[in-house]
Amino acid sequence: MKNRIVFWGKNENSEKLLLALELLAEEGKVNVISFPEALVSEEFNQTLTKDWRDGKTVDFPEGFTSTLLELTVTGSILPKGITAEKMDLVTRAQAEWNFSILSSRLFRSYQSELNEFKDKVERALNFDKNMWDELKSFWDRVQEQARDKSLFREHSEHLRQETNELFGKLKDLRGKLDEEFDRTSKTLYEDIVAKLGDIENKVREGIRLQPLFDELKDIQKKIREVKLNRDHRNKIWDKLDATFKVLKEKRFGPETAEDNNPLVRIQKRYEGLMAAIDKMESSVGRDIEELNFQNGKVNTSFGQLEAQIRQAKVAMIEERVRSKKEKLAEMYATKTELDRKMEQLQEKEKRKADEILKEDAKKAAQEKIAGEIAAANAAREKSKDSLFGAAAAILGDSITDMVDTVKAVSEVVEDRIEDKIDEIKEIWNDKKEEEETEKKEEEKKEEEEEKKD
């Protein structure tokens, strides 16, 4: 959550302004700095957007204006007459900043309460169970606020560290409180590791994989629920990841060169998108459940400050739900676009397959034609040999009869060969004309598709 934002807006005269808003958390105010468009160079715009927004000091050009406004839940954080090009950015920042200030107040309240515990623990000479229970009750309340995300992570972590120090001092008085917890954690750790090892053995034995996947998911759920120390938990997660990897490689095999296929890539992107849509819908559902929960708790909060925290969280969650629904709509638009592209690619793949079949048929036809031509030439040579044989057989007859016979046989053979060659040429020309027509139609379709894209 950043304390500075930069965006473009307009004043009451519709003149463009570059607006820089800074949260002054300690004062509960927002400093609105506006720069007329004439003062904003591309370099200054980049510097303000990157360096200043990240907390660095930047020199402003003369002519800017600065306005301090009270930060409230309902009021605007923009001066009157000024609007933003992207109002959702402003409303989201306002909701987050309100929550930030109230969360910081809650943290200071807990810190004050924790300081009182420090005094008690420092003065304690012996272990006091009531003091332990009070500190535990305090920490339970902090944890509840941390789980509800009413405290920033750094605040809850700071409280956790100081609380742990107090627990440590009480443990020194009580003895080794963590021994039983470590023993339990070790037992759970060894049990889970054994189950994971058993699953890996079943994978190597070739047992059906789907039940093993289900078993791994059950173990994954159990790990989140059981209490383990940090070392055991980290080792178990590493072992679980390794087992999942072994199972997936066994089920799906190594990656192949199909990733270079556009259709395969877009199908994988589609699968990833559908998974993201499922996650986003689940996230929206959880936010709505949390929103209902927070609305129900507003009237039962412990003190006015917690009630204000709840109200700020309601505003922040509502803004988060709105933003996620917009992203979900964009995802569905992308899904529609991917559906269209996959349909086009599938049609293109089909045309390519048909083209390959035609090319194979063309080659086969060429080979057949070449064979028939070779056969025709061989027949012609054979006919000549036959003619010479016939001439030798009838040498005893008159030379005139011999010549007439040779001419007649030769004409018949040549006519038949020429007819066959003409037939082959006609088939070849028809096939060539058909291929040229199909090629022109495909080129026309591709041009139309490119225009659509």
Q: What is the mean pLDDT of residues 385-403?
A: 52
Given pLDDT bands bounded at 50, 70 and 90, which one contains residue 307? Answer: confident
CB 179, CB 196: distance < 8 Å? no
Q: What is the pLDDT of residue 257?
A: 37
Given pLDDT bands bounded at 50, 70 and 90, which one contains residue 419? Answer: low
Q: What is the pLDDT of residue 258?
A: 44
The pLDDT of residue 161 is above 90: yes
- 255 vs 103: CA distance, rounded Å: 48
Task: For residue 76, give the DSSP letter.
Answer: -
Mean pLDDT of the chain: 80
The pLDDT of residue 248 is above 60: yes
CB 136, CB 130: distance < 8 Å? no
- In Å, how far are 132, 137, 165, 407, 409 from 169, measured between CA atoms? 11, 17, 6, 127, 123
How many helices, marked H, and strands, marked E, lie in the chain? 10, 5
The pLDDT of residue 331 is above 80: yes
The pLDDT of residue 184 is above 50: yes
Q: pLDDT, tens digit, for every residue of 23-49?
A: 988 788 899 999 999 888 899 989 898
Q: What is the pLDDT of residue 160?
A: 92
Q: What whole-number percentage of the chain has pLDDT above 70?
A: 80
Dump the DSSP string for 182-212.
Answer: HHHHHHHHHHHHHHHHHHHHHHHHT--HHHH
Task: Output b/e per residue, 181-196; b: 16+ Cβ within 10 A.
Answer: eeeebeebbeebeeeb
Q: Which of 175-179, 197-201, 266-270, 295-299 has the least mean pLDDT?
A: 175-179
Model confidence, pTM: 0.41
Three-class DSSP category at 141? helix
- 402 vs 124: CA distance, rounded Å: 142
The pLDDT of residue 425 is above 70: no
Domain edges within the chain: 4-85, 89-177, 355-452
> For residue 128, what are its two tokens?
């006091």
The pLDDT of residue 411 is above 80: no
